[in-house]
């Protein structure tokens, strides 16, 4: 999927490649989802087609209603029974996000299916939260309710009546606006929740609590007296800390898709988690990797100078993953700059691979060292295509999901950051790897391969022992970072950029016990998302609000 169209592709433990919304749910709720928690139109239609080919429908005409709608309901009920919070037994409440905007043709089968579902399960078993935008006219400052009125009318016309309105706006809803919405949308005033701009996203759960959104949900689902009050003391503390950070740390992110920050959403969140943990105010300097290249110096000197100024002014450098050869030379130059100037560096996936290529070129003197992804005929292939990969089918054929990495050296920064454990489990998404035939030469020249897979042939972590912080990882640690439990490589980068790495390495073992403040309620929640469309709804997000009229069940 194109990062410019979809944002990042989030990877789950089981290897599922899903929409970035599921990453928001994992971060906020500190849970582990599966590929089945992501419904897409393609998955539903494929399952129905497979049933028809097997003869399950006995030759009947297969239609959207009832076959597609039944398949959607069956999928929800089946997956809702599978726990994702590490506790035994099914969840008490299943959260279903139906993305998109009311009236979108893509979501019609899902809306019809959930309309049928609400009728079938009856009152008290389903709570519909409609997320809508209440725009404010800048000239007069008036909050306009017409978009919400029309979207609720459209929703009701499709057979769904909202119990709660979650209204996105730049400021808190005025009382007369709530009265108007209540009158025209047939929703009780106390069930109209305003979600206005806040200093940081961690205020949103507190905002919902202060407006008693949980009580409104409890009433609809007949859970009053069953669920406890939200335990958000740590969230409150974290939100306050984030608001009062003053000491800056600048991280240059050198990537190919910097034009859309959602392309690196999990990386951005992991940097935020680590910087708040270290009590630093994060500033991310987005550096387009192509602007660092010599060709840009000739074609657009101003962009070239601006990119290098950002890179040289940063306290640390992060090179994320990517595919294709565009901008790779710029990433190599960024790795070279960080290595030679002792600037803290973290390379992720392709970022690690370009660090290996740069080392081979600059230290081993192999000027044509390259990846076979970019030069199939290179005489010194540092990075090669994995033997088990498919060269004919691109989708779903990479090395995906949680894989185990074993530390080869315990007296190294990466092992210490992970609490001196002998192995770790992190999520992967790649089809190229370090050439094992070149490992010995690289090691003799000073590059340490601190982590390898269970076979010892696949390189997972690289380090430069005599550098303040120069680490590359083949996996994607950003996918498992949490607000109260930052990813170790990201924490190391921020700490090194602030000159505090030694203190972190000495005390990190005890710091890992800090909880993230989520999941303290005895009730268990299940997250489920329709990935047929990618615009997010609002309810439990660690990211951007939707300006569309999404609905959340």
> Where in 204-310 does DSSP place strands (E)?
248-255, 281-288
Task: Clarify whether 190 is annotated catalytic.
Answer: no
> What is the end-to-end Cα distance of the chain in Å, rounded?
27
Tokens of 317: 């450098």
* Active-site position among 112, 428, 478, 498: 478
Residue of 334, 336, 328 whose CA lies nearest to 308: 334
Cα–Cα dist 386/372, whole Å: 11
Q: Is the peptide bond before 85 cis (omega within 30 degrees of 0)?
A: no
Identify the H or E element spanning 361: helix 350-362
* Active-site position among 67, 163, 428, 476: 476
Task: Clarify whether 476 is annotated catalytic.
Answer: yes
* Active-site position among 127, 242, 349, 412: 349
Tokens of 221: 């689902």
Task: Clarify whether 250 is annotated catalytic.
Answer: no
Cα–Cα dist 265/20, whole Å: 8
CB atoms within 10 A of CB 309: 12
C-alpha torsion angle, residues 445, 451, 453, 456 (rounded to 10): 40
Cα–Cα dist 366/163, whole Å: 66
Output phi, psi for 50, to 5 deg.
Answer: -60, -40
**Strand bridging mode 17-18 / 10-11:** antiparallel
Q: Is 157 helix (H, G, I), strand (E, B) or coil?
A: helix
**DSSP per-residue string spanning 176-197:** HHHHHHHHHHT--GGGEEEEE-
Burial of 536 from C-beta contacts in 10 A (0-12 / 13-18 / 19+): buried
CA atoms within 13 A on the CB side of 137: 8
Catalytic residue set: 349, 476, 478
């Amino acid at each position: 999927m194109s990062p410019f169209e979809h944002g990042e592709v989030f990877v789950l433990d089981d290897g599922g490649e899903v929409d970035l919304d599921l990453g928001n749910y994992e971060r906020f709720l500190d849970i582990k989802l599966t590929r089945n928690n992501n419904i897409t139109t393609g998955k539903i239609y494929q399952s129905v087609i497979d049933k028809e080919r097997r003869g399950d429908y006995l030759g009947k005409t297969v239609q959207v209603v009832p076959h597609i709608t039944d398949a959607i309901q069956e999928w929800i009920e089946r997956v809702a029974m599978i726990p994702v919070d590490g506790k035994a037994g099914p969840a008490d409440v299943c959260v279903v996000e139906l993305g998109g905007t009311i009236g979108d043709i893509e979501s019609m089968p899902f809306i019809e299916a959930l309309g049928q579902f609400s009728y079938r399960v009856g009152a008290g078993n389903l709570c519909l939260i409609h997320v809508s935008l209440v725009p404010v006219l800048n000239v007069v400052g008036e909050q306009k309710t017409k978009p919400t009125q029309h979207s609720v009318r459209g929703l009701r016309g499709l057979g769904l009546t909202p119990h709660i309105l979650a209204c996105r706006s730049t400021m808190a809803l005025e009382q007369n606006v709530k009265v108007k919405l209540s009158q025209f949308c047939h929703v009780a005033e106390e069930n109209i929740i305003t979600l206005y701009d806040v200093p940081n996203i961690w205020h949103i759960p507190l905002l919902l609590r202060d407006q008693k959104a949980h009580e409104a949900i409890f009433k609809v689902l007949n859970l009053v007296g069953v669920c406890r009050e939200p335990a958000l003391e740590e969230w409150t503390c974290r939100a306050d800390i984030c608001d009062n950070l003053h000491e800056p740390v600048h991280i240059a992110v050198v990537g190919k898709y910097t034009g859309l920050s959602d392309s690196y959403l999990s990386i951005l969140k992991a940097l935020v988690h680590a910087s708040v943990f270290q009590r630093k105010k994060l500033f991310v300097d987005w550096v387009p990797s192509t602007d660092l290249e010599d060709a840009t110096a000739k074609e657009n000197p101003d962009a070239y100078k601006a990119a290098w100024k950002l890179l040289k002014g940063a306290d640390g450098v992060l090179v994320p993953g990517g595919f294709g050869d565009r901008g790779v030379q710029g990433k190599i130059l960024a790795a070279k700059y960080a290595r030679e100037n002792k600037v803290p560096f973290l390379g992720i996936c392709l970022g690690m691979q370009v660090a290996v290529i740069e080392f081979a070129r600059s230290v081993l003197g192999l000027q044509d060292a390259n990846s076979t992804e970019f030069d199939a005929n290179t005489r010194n292939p540092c990075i090669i295509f994995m033997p088990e990969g498919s060269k004919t089918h691109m989708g779903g054929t990479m090395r995906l999901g949680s894989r185990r990495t074993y530390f080869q050296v315990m007296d190294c920064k990466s092992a210490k950051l992970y609490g001196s454990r002998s192995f770790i489990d992190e999520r992967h998404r790649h089809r190229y790897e370090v050439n094992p035939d070149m490992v010995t030469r690289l090691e003799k020249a000073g590059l340490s391969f601190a982590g390898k897979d269970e076979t010892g042939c696949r390189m997972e972590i690289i380090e430069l022992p005599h550098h303040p912080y120069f680490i590359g990882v083949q996996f994607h640690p950003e996918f498992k970072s949490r607000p109260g439990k930052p990813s170790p490589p990201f924490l190391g980068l921020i700490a090194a950029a602030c000159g505090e790495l030694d203190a972190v390495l000495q005390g990190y073992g005890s710091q890992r016990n800090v909880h993230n403040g989520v999941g303290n309620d005895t009730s268990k929640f299940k997250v489920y998302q329709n990935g047929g469309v990618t615009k997010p709804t609002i309810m439990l997000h660690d990211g951007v609000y939707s300006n569309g009229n999404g609905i959340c069940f």
